[in-house]
């Protein structure tokens, strides 16, 4: 029997006030019902925000190291349950079990990092320009946050947001994606089991148009952290800006791997296969474009097509499967729509290009690994985010043109260059317009202790991950302590 999930508000498991629910089914097998979830609305959000607001004074007063200790205990529980959490995630999201273990591991890594950062919420001490006076900066929490998460990394990305948010002394209401709520729900349950007080971490399930908008517009929400599309991100930035709410946006990508003539082609092949078809291409950092210098274009294209044709596609619970389904029928239709666009634009379909059908494939939302050759840089499939297993291969004359083509989209998240020439590698690092650049590695593979984010339409300047996440969730406070015993007038006294 499928599990019935409830919202977690003020430490209690409660249904949506409306009593309505929605189903979460396995995208590889629609007969597999993962669970039912509350279809919440603004009333439920208001309950959660009230609980978070009430819990905030006590939580912020708890020493940061104590908050970190609770994060550490939660992380130990995640580590103990890694196998079962990964299985649930594969069932609700579809990506292969090796990847969902990695998703949980990223949450584990982020949790241990957060526990350490609780002892490193450092400020700055600087000398005063006046005698018998000291100046320093400390970090302060900012209040109640709304955290809106995507479906492709249903535990890793909530951990990127919740762990630093809570360590900094804030409270939160998290809205998981409707396609993958079970993993985030398990994460919040683990936090409570580890000792997070009631009201500090609340989860409200439901659609973005109801729950997301209610969070965005609630007067007691002081900050929004969102990961998702650039279009939705613009809407969030607009509304948050009018209310002067803090707003952290991690948005789309159209990432490219640039391969030069002197590259190790076997290594470049492994990189592009993992980057393009890992997570069924459903990553904001996925390798959507392969830009190849003309001297090795034909050879590398042949290698990519031959290997991609052999990828085993199926239910991700099978350890031998290399690529799972699209997360939903709607997402698969979007992918197929872009394939049709690519064909109409004149790109050469070198591999795939259709839904997988027959047998077990008919029970899920499977799509063929797809490769387009002879793609022009201005084609829609070369500049728009597809979020599926579709790779566009582009030929360029030289390094200079390769950089120009790589930079020729409105996104700037991740990037990659394969070359044995250290000079050109370092020049690429300088010239590529992206928040992340890999040298001789694919466009995916972020590590939890390093900043994550991008430029242009990929975000609004904030970086999740690493120490930079703690800048998002805390406010600098400058303190002046005058122990001179008299009135000092700063610049006037120095005039």
Q: Contact, 224 vs 243, CB < 8 A? A: no
pLDDT at residue 195 is higher than 80: yes
Catalytic member of 149, 165, 284, 326? 284
255-439: what CATH class?
A: alpha beta
pLDDT at 490: 83
pLDDT at residue 251 is higher than 90: yes
Among candidate residues 297, 323, 304, the one with its CA nearest the CA of residue 371: 304
Among candidate residues 235, 208, 215, 90, the one with its CA nearest the CA of residue 153: 90
Catalytic member of 250, 293, 322, 464? 250
Per-residue pLDDT tens over the stretch 80-95: 999 999 999 999 999 9
Rounded mean pLDDT, 178-185: 98
Per-residue pLDDT tens over the stretch 461-494: 999 999 999 999 999 999 999 999 999 998 887 7
Per-residue pLDDT tens over the stretch 368-406: 999 999 999 999 999 999 999 999 999 999 999 999 999
**Element containing residue 381 per DSSP (H, E):** helix 380-383
Distances (CA, A) of 118 to 65, 115, 121, 451: 5, 5, 6, 17
pLDDT at residue 342 is higher than 70: yes
Among candidate residues 313, 246, 293, 263, the one with its CA nearest the CA of residue 401: 293
Residue 305, SS3 per DSSP: helix
- Asked if 189 is an active-site residue, the reply is no
pLDDT at 389: 98
User: pLDDT band at 1, cuts 50/70/90?
Assistant: low
Residue 444, SS3 per DSSP: coil
pLDDT at 492: 81
Distances (CA, A) of 120 to 117, 135, 172, 479: 5, 19, 21, 19
Mean pLDDT for the chain overall? 97
Rounded mean pLDDT, 21-27: 98
CATH fold for the domain made of 3-251+459-478: Aldehyde Dehydrogenase; Chain A, domain 1 (3.40.605)
In terms of DSSP bridges, do strands 287-293 and 390-396 run parallel, antiparallel, or are they unpaired? Answer: parallel
Tell if the pTM clears 0.95, that is, is over it: yes
Per-residue pLDDT tens over the stretch 310-330: 999 999 999 999 999 999 999
- Residue 273 is encoded by which pair of tokens? 């296969």
- % of the chain exceeding 90 in pLDDT: 98
Q: Contact, 345 vs 381, CB < 8 A? A: yes
The values of phi and psi at residue 408, to 5°, are -85, 35
Residues in the chain: 495
Q: Contact, 347 vs 372, CB < 8 A? A: yes
pLDDT at residue 450 is higher than 90: yes
Q: Which residue ranges make up each domain of the chain?
A: 3-251+459-478, 255-439
Rounded mean pLDDT, 350-364: 98
Per-residue pLDDT tens over the stretch 116-161: 999 999 999 999 999 999 999 999 999 999 999 999 999 999 999 9
Rounded mean pLDDT, 221-242: 96
- Asked if 284 is an active-site residue, the reply is yes
Helical packing angle, 97-117 and 82-93, nearest 10°: 120
């Amino acid at each position: 029997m499928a599990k019935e999930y409830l919202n977690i508000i003020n430490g209690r498991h409660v249904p949506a006030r409306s009593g309505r629910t929605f189903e979460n089914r396995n995208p590889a097998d629609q007969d597999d019902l993962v669970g039912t979830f509350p279809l919440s609305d603004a009333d439920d959000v208001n309950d959660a925000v009230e609980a978070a607001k009430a819990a905030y004074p006590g939580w912020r007063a708890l020493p940061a190291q104590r908050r970190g200790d609770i994060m550490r205990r939660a992380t130990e529980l995640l580590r103990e349950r890694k196998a079962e959490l990964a299985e649930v995630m594969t069932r609700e999201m579809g990506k292969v079990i090796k990847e969902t273990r990695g998703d949980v591991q990223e949450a584990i890594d982020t949790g241990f990092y957060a526990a350490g950062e609780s002892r490193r919420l450092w400020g700055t001490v600087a000398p005063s320009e006046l005698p018998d006076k000291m100046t320093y900066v400390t970090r302060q929490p900012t209040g109640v946050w709304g955290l809106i998460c995507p479906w492709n990394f249903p535990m890793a990305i909530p951990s990127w947001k919740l762990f630093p948010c809570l360590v900094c002394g804030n409270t939160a209401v998290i809205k998981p994606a409707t396609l993958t709520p079970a993993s985030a729900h398990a994460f919040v349950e683990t936090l409570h089991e580890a000792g997070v007080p009631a009201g500090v971490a609340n989860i409200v399930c439901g659609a973005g148009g109801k729950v997301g908008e209610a969070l965005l517009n609630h007067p007691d929400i002081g900050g929004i952290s969102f990961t998702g599309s650039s279009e939705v991100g613009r809407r969030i930035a607009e509304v948050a800006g009018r209310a002067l709410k803090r707003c952290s946006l991690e948005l789309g990508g159209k990432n490219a791997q640039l391969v030069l003539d002197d590259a190790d082609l076997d290594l470049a092949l492994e990189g592009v296969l993992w980057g393009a078809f890992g997570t069924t291409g459903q990553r904001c950092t996925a390798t959507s474009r392969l830009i190849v210098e003309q001297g090795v274009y034909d050879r590398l294209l042949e290698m990519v097509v031959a290997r991609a044709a052999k990828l085993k596609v199926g239910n991700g619970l099978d350890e031998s499967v290399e690529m799972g389904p699209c997360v939903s029928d709607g997402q698969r239709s979007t992918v197929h729509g872009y394939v049709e666009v690519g064909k109409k634009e004149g790109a050469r379909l070198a591999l795939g290009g259709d839904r997988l059908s027959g047998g077990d494939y008919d029970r899920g939302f499977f799509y063929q690994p797809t490769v387009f050759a002879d793609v022009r840089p201005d084609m829609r499939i070369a500049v728009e985010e597809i979020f599926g297993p579709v790779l566009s291969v582009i030929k360029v004359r030289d390094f200079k043109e390769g950089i120009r083509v790589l930079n020729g989209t409105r996104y700037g998240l991740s990037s990659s260059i394969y070359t044995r020439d250290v000079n050109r590698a370092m020049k690429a690092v300088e010239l590529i317009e992206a928040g992340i650049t890999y040298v001789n590695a694919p466009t995916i593979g972020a590590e939890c202790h390093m900043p994550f984010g991008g430029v242009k339409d990929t975000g609004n300047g904030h970086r999740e991950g690493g120490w930079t996440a703690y800048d998002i969730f805390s406010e600098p406070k400058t303190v002046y302590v005058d122990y001179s015993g008299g009135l000092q007038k700063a610049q006037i006294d120095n005039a």
